[in-house]
Structure 1
Amino acid sequence: MIKKMLLLIPVVAMAGCAQPTDAADITFDWPLDCTLGETCWIARYVDRGEDKSVADYMCKHRSQDKHRGTDIMVSDTGVLASGVPILAVAPGKILRMRDGVDDGAPYKKGEDCGNAYVIQHENGYTSQYCHLKNASLSKNIGDTVRAGEQIALMGLSGQTEYPHLHIGIRKNGTLLDPFDGGGYEQACSGSSETSLWRDHPDYAPFTLLPPKFSVAPEPRENRWAAQAESISPDASALILTGRAFGASRGDVWSFRITDPDGKLFAEHQVATEKTQQFRSQFFGKRAPAGGFKPGIWTGTISLEQDGYRQTQTVQILVSSATK
C-alpha cells in the first residue's frame, strides 16, 4: 500500500533563535545501520554560518550555504541497491510522512525531501528523514517506534544526486544541529560537549570515500555508480578515481596502483587547487605492452590536510575472459 502525506515540517527556521541544548534533555541514536567511516560517511553538516557564510559546528567548512540538516551517505548506488536500513533515532510517534516519490525521478515543487518521515519525540523534539526509498516506508501516521527500529530504506527520492540520508532535528519547530545542540545559522561552538548523539561521532576535517577503478575517466553521471566487477586485460588504460567531501586548497592526494604480484604500476601526487564541498580527482596510466596481467589489481588513495591523513583502498579483477 502506497502511503502519502504531504504536510512535512517546513525546512525553514529563524536564524539565531536557538540556544545550545542541555545534553541531558534528550539523546539520539545513529539513524543508519552502518559503521561510520567504513560503510557510511558524513558528507555535510548543518550550516552554522550566518547569512551567506558557511561553517559546520566545529567552525570548519564541512557544510554548504543554507544546509538544514546532516547528510549521511554510502559509497555508491550498488550499496544502495542492497538495502540500507534507516533507523528511528529515539522513541516516538510517526507525525507526518510522504511516500510514492520515485527514486531518481523528477519531483514536484515542495517534494525536495522526497519520501520522508517526521517523528515526534519527547520534550518537543522531532526528527525528519529525507530521500527514503519509494515504498520502503514501513510505518503509518500514528504508529509508535522504538529507538533503533527500522522505519525505511535509504533511497534517491527528491532533490539528491548521491545516495544519502538527510536528517533534520528540531525542538518546538526550531532547527538544531545535533552535534552540539546549537541552532541553524547560530554561531558555531567548536565543541561537542553538548552533543545530542548518544555516541558522538568523531569529527574529521574531510571525508575520503572508497576509490573506484575504471578503464577511462568517468563522466559526472557515473560518479555514484558502483565499480565494475572486472575489466579486460585488453583495456586501454586503468584509471583510479578518488572522491572527497571537505577537500581544502593545498590538500595532497597520493595515488598508487599495484599489479597482482604487488609490483608498482603507477603512482602520482597532486594538490587540491581550491576548497570545495565535494571534489573528484583521478589518475591513471595506459596499458603496458601485452595488456594488463590477469589477477587482482590494487589501488590506494591517500588524502592529507595539515598532518591529518585518510587512506582508502580498492581492488579489481583483471579477467582473462571479458565479461
Structure 2
Amino acid sequence: MKQFKTIPCAILVLGGIATAAPIEMQTKSGGLAGFGTIKEHVHGADCVSTADKANMRRDLQAYIRDFGPLSRPGLWGDNRQYSFFPVGGREWVDLYMENYVDLDSSEGGFQDWNCGGYSYDGHKGIDALIGTFEQQFVGVPIYSALDGVVWAMRDGEPDQNTVWDPDALSNYVGIDHGEGRYANYFHMKQGSVLVEIGQEVKAGEQIGLVASSGYSSWPHLHFETWIPDGEDDWKIYEPYAGDCNVQSSGWENQVSIPEGARCKDFGVTTANLDDFFVNEEYMWTPPLEGYIPLDHDGVWMWMQATDIGIFSTYQMQFYDPDGVLQHDTGTNWLNFSWNSYRFYITWFYWDIPELHTIPGTWTVDMIVNGDSFLSFPLTMVTQLEQTPNRVPGQIYATMLPASPTVEDVLSCNVFSLGPLDDLDWDLVRYTYTWSVGDNILRQVESAGLADRLPRLELCPGAVVQCTVVASDGIASGEPVTVVKRLEGLSNGDINCDGDVDVSDLLVLISNWGTCSLCLGDLDGDGDVDINDILTLIASWS
C-alpha cells in the first residue's frame, strides 16, 4: 500500500491578502501521485542539429552536381496553400502541436502565430508530437506536403532518442516543392524513408514514418518550410495566420489552437507508476489493465492532458455498478503552481475500501476546474472471474475534400472515442484500405487518425472508397467505409488501373440499373445504362 504524506492546506497570497486554500494534494484514500511534462528544449537552439545541417549542405552539393540547381521563385509569386498537415493524424486530436515557428526575433523571447507560448526561442518549424513510443512502433506516416523533387535524405540513424543531444543525427527528407519553396521533414523512423535523392513525389505520397531520431526527446515530425526572400536569399515560413502573424493563411483549412484542459489519453493499472516513471521518461505508455482484481494493492491511473492552467483543481467521484456514489475525493490540487502546462502527464493512486469488496463495472467521473473532464469505466473482478478481451470502440470516418477532383489529395479522417477508444486501455491501430473497385490503391496500418491518398489525375469520375478497421492487436472492430466520386466524366477506367478493358466491362454489367453511387455509372446520372456502355467502348484500350 502506498504511503501518502498529508499536505496541509496551502496559504495563497492574493492581492496582499493571505487566504487559506481549502484543498489539498491528496486525501487519506489517495490522490495525485506524480506529474511530468515534455523535456524543455535548450532555448536559442533549433531542434535540427549542426551535424544535420552539415549533412544537408552536402546533400545539396551532390544534388546540384547530379541534377542541377534547385527551383527558383516564379514571376508571379507562390500563393499555394497546404491542404493537409503532412502527418497521418488530426491536429490537436491525436497530434499534439507542441511548437510552432518562433516569431519573436529578440534573444531569449519566443512567440507563436497566435501570440501564445507554443514555441521556444529560435524554433524554425512546426513540431507535431504523437502520443508515445508505442504509437511510433505501430507507425504513423509522414507525407509530402506538395508535389516536388527530393533533394536531401538520410536514413539509418537511431530513432528512440529521449534526451536533447545536439550532436545526434536525424533521419530526414528535404523536398524542393517548386517556385523556390523548400520543405524539410525531420526525426523520421529508422528504415522508414521511402524516397531517394532526385525522385519526384506527389502531394500526399508517403515519404517516411514519425519517430525520435536526431535532436529530439519525443517522437514527432519537425516540419519546416523555406520561401524566397528577395533574389538570392530565403526565410523561414510560418503558414499559420493569426494576430501575431498577419497574413493570408498558408492552409486551406487552418486548425485553431484549442483552449481549456483536455484529456488526450488515459488508462488504469495496478503497476506502481512511481516506479515506472522514476527516470522521468514520460514518452512511454505504462502497462495498463482493463480489469482490476478486488485483491489489489492500490489502483493507479495514468493521464495525458493539455492546457493545464495555473492552480488547476480536480475531483473524482466513484460510482459503484448500481450507480451509488461510494467515494468522492472532494476538490484537490491538480497543478499547485504559477506554471501552466501545455502538455501534462499525471498519475494518481487510490486505495478505496469499496474497490476491494464490490465487483463489477464502476463509473468514475473526473472534474477539472469545476467542469466535466472525463467519465470512464473501472471494472473490478473477483479472482476466478473471466476477463475477455474487448474490441475497440465504435469509429466513424469522413473523406475530404467534400467534393474532390482529380487534382486533390484525399484525406480519410477517423473519429474515435478518444481516451475511451478501447476499454482494456490497449493501443488502437487502424488499417486504411483505399480502393477503386477491386483495385487496391493503398493499404497501411497506422496508429494515427488520418491517412492520405495522392491525387488520381488519370481517373476523372472514379468512385473512391476508404475502408478503416480499428484493432487492438488482438481483435478488430467492424469495418467503416466512406465513398466519394471524383468530379468529372469517367474515361471508362472504372477501377483506375490504367487500362479500359474487360475487367471494367464486368464491373459495369454487375452494376446495371439504377444506383446512387456506383462504379459503373460513368456519366454520374444515377443509372448504369447504354450510355455508360458507349463511353466505355469509346475508351477501350
Say which is worse superposed, 42-51 or 219-228, in terms of deviation: 219-228
Where do 1:4-153 residues align within 5 Å? Answer: 7-8=55-56, 25-28=79-82, 29-49=84-104, 50-104=106-160, 112=168, 114-153=170-209
Would you say how many aligned residue pairs link Structure 1 and Structure 2? 299
Partner AA of 1:275 in structure 2: S
Say which is worse superposed, 46-55 or 204-213, in terms of deviation: 204-213
Partner AA of 2:97 in structure 1: I
SS of 1:160's equivalent in the other structure is: coil
Q: Who is 2:297 aligned against? A: 236
Q: What's the C-alpha RMSD, in Å, of the aligned pairs? A: 3.7
Confirm or deny that 1:281 pairs with 2:355: no
One of 245, 249, 254 as aligned partner of 1:200? 254
Deviation at 1:179, TM superposition (A): 1.0
2: CA distance, partners of 1:310 / 1:95: 50
Partner AA of 2:144 in structure 1: A
One of 141, 154, 159 as aligned partner of 2:215? 159
2: CA distance, partners of 1:89 / 1:146: 8
Deviation at 1:40, TM superposition (A): 2.2
SS of 1:132's equivalent in the other structure is: coil
Partner AA of 2:345 in structure 1: S
Distance of aligned partners of 1:44 and 1:259 in 2 relative to their CA distance in 1, 3 Å threshold: farther
Confirm or deny that 1:270 pairs with 2:270: no
Deviation at 1:313, TM superposition (A): 5.8
**Do 1:101 and 1:115's aligned partners in 2 also have CA atoms closer than 8 Å?**
yes
Taking structure 2 as the reference length, the TM-score comes to 0.48
Deviation at 1:84, TM superposition (A): 0.6
2: CA distance, partners of 1:179 / 1:103: 28
**Do 2:313 and 2:333's aligned partners in 1 also have CA atoms closer than 8 Å?**
yes
2: CA distance, partners of 1:106 / 1:250: 29
% identity of equivalent residues = 22
2: CA distance, partners of 1:207 / 1:168: 28
Deviation at 1:125, TM superposition (A): 1.3
Distance of aligned partners of 1:292 and 1:149 in 2 relative to their CA distance in 1, 3 Å threshold: farther
Where do 1:206-217 residues align within 5 Å? Answer: 208=262, 209-215=264-270, 216-217=272-273
Distance of aligned partners of 1:25 and 1:277 in 2 relative to their CA distance in 1, 3 Å threshold: same
Deviation at 1:282, TM superposition (A): 3.4
Q: Please give the per-residue CA displacement for 1:185-225, whole angstroms capped at 9, x wherever unaligned.
A: xxx73467522122211222467422333333341224432
**Do 1:103 and 1:155's aligned partners in 2 also have CA atoms closer than 8 Å?**
yes
Distance of aligned partners of 1:51 and 1:78 in 2 relative to their CA distance in 1, 3 Å threshold: same
**Do 1:45 and 1:70's aligned partners in 2 also have CA atoms closer than 8 Å?**
yes
Distance of aligned partners of 1:290 and 1:299 in 2 relative to their CA distance in 1, 3 Å threshold: closer
Distance of aligned partners of 1:52 and 1:260 in 2 relative to their CA distance in 1, 3 Å threshold: farther
1: CA distance, partners of 2:174 / 2:364: 41
2: CA distance, partners of 1:227 / 1:310: 26
Deviation at 1:142, TM superposition (A): 0.9
Partner AA of 2:206 in structure 1: Q
Taking structure 1 as the reference length, the TM-score comes to 0.76
**Higher helix proportion (structure 1 or 2):** 2
Deviation at 1:279, TM superposition (A): 3.1
Q: Who is 1:174 aligned against? A: 235
Distance of aligned partners of 1:311 and 1:190 in 2 relative to their CA distance in 1, 3 Å threshold: farther
Partner AA of 1:202 in structure 2: S
2: CA distance, partners of 1:302 / 1:143: 52
Deviation at 1:91, TM superposition (A): 0.8
Where do 1:225-264 residues align within 5 Å? Answer: 225=285, 227-230=287-290, 232-233=292-293, 234-255=295-316, 264=325
Gaps in structure 2 of 5+ consecutive residues: 1-51, 59-75, 229-233, 388-541
2: CA distance, partners of 1:169 / 1:269: 44
Distance of aligned partners of 1:222 and 1:256 in 2 relative to their CA distance in 1, 3 Å threshold: farther
1: CA distance, partners of 2:236 / 2:373: 34
Q: Who is 1:185 aligned against? A: none
Distance of aligned partners of 1:52 and 1:290 in 2 relative to their CA distance in 1, 3 Å threshold: closer
2: CA distance, partners of 1:311 / 1:23: 47
1: CA distance, partners of 2:366 / 2:300: 12
Q: Who is 1:16 aligned against? A: none
Deviation at 1:124, TM superposition (A): 1.4
2: CA distance, partners of 1:223 / 1:124: 37
Partner AA of 1:221 in structure 2: E
Deviation at 1:93, TM superposition (A): 1.0
Deviation at 1:86, TM superposition (A): 0.8
**Do 1:303 and 1:311's aligned partners in 2 also have CA atoms closer than 8 Å?**
yes
Deviation at 1:288, TM superposition (A): 2.4
Deviation at 1:31, TM superposition (A): 0.7
Distance of aligned partners of 1:259 and 1:147 in 2 relative to their CA distance in 1, 3 Å threshold: farther
Distance of aligned partners of 1:168 and 1:302 in 2 relative to their CA distance in 1, 3 Å threshold: farther
Q: Please give the per-residue CA displacement for 1:236-280, whole angstroms capped at 9, x wherever unaligned.
A: 222333334554324444555555555555545425311345433
Say which is worse superposed, 86-95 or 250-259, in terms of deviation: 250-259
* Greater Rg over alpha carbons, structure: 2
Partner AA of 1:270 in structure 2: W
